[in-house]
Amino acid sequence: MKELYAGIRQAFWEYEPEAALHGLQQALKQEEEPTALVQFLSEQLTEIGEQFSRGELFLPDMMMAGDVMESCMGLLRPLLESKGAGNASLGKVLLGTVKGDIHDIGKNMVKTMLSASGFQVIDLGTDVSTEQFFNAAMQEKPDIIALSSCMTTTIPSMQDTLDMFTDRDLHKSFKIVVGGGSMNQELVERLGHCIYGGRDAFEAARTCRNLMENDQIGGMRQ
């Protein structure tokens, strides 16, 4: 089993999803617990995230590692659920850059850091309209809605999106986290009904983790 784990680790770090899946299948044949494998994969992703935070690995490394993780979870998730292990994800995040703003580098970093932290991320991309956020939230029922704005002139679009939820009292059903270059704590207080993600992708991921650990969300996701 030790050799199998070494092989999975190597495949993971070389961003080879097929080799990683092969290793997992071998391990499962030898009756390894899916929860142990998920734990092992999460440790790899965390390690990659730490190297990213130290500037030793980069956004594409995180993207490729995230792809491997997603492939592996495609195999393991049904097994976990059939064994009653519950949802392997830390939570579901709906992410996007608000209408009028097509900056994506920061948003992509947040996406990879959230994935590395164990969140399931639905990325709506950039220049996302209020209605697109709303429809996706109704369909996906995320735990967290994460909005990004990098320009002062797109803060009003962020307000529009928040209004769409608060006007329907739905801010009580989701945690709405905001961030991006134009955002700061003072503005967040003016916007209302949202939480400041922080100055960078690491802070954003930490904020989301803390929110899930101190979960006060209503019932949308049940």
Partner 1 sequence: MTARFWELISRGETGPSYTGKEFDLRLFGATKKLIKKYDIHYDPAHIADHEDGMLERVFQAGLELFLEIGMYNMDTGKIIRVTEEEVFEALHRAPCCVTLGEGREKVFVNHRDLEDPSLPVVCGGVGNPMTNDARYQLYLGYALNPMIDYIEPVPPYQFRGRLVKAGTPFEIQACMDNIALFRKASRDAGRPGMPVKGKDGVSAITDIATNREDCGYRKSDHANVYIKPALKTTYEDLNRIAQYLQYGINISSGAGGYMGGVNGGAEGAAIGGMAEAFAAVTIYQANIMSTSVMDSIYPNQTSGKAMWGSNLITAAFNKYTHVPDMWGVYIATAGPCTDMILYEIAACTVGLVVNGGHTFGVAPNQGVTLNYCTPMEPQFMGEVGYAATKLTRKQANDISLKILEKYEDRLMAKQAPKGKTFQELYNLETLEPCEEYRELVASVWEELEILGLKRYSFRG
Q: Which residues bind partner 1 (CB under 8 A)?
A: 52-53, 55, 58-60, 63-64, 99-102, 105-106, 108-109, 151-157, 159, 181-184, 186, 199-202
- Identify which of residues 33 and 200 has a Cβ nearer to partner 1 in the complex: 200
- Identify which of residues 29 and 54 has a Cβ nearer to partner 1 in the complex: 54
Buried b / exposed e along 175-193 (16+ C-beta atoms within 10 A): bbbbbbbbbeeebbeebee
Task: In angstroms, give the least distance from the CB of 156 to partner 1.
Answer: 4
d(CA 149, CA 102): 9
- Identify which of residues 157 and 173 has a Cβ nearer to partner 1 in the complex: 157
Burial class (CB in 10 A: 0-12, 13-18, 19+), 19: middle
Task: In angstroms, give the least distance from the CB of 203 to partner 1.
Answer: 9
Task: In angstroms, give the least distance from the CB of 161 to partner 1.
Answer: 12
Burial class (CB in 10 A: 0-12, 13-18, 19+), 55: exposed
Which amino acid is it at 7?
A: G
- Identify which of residues 67 and 81 has a Cβ nearer to partner 1 in the complex: 67
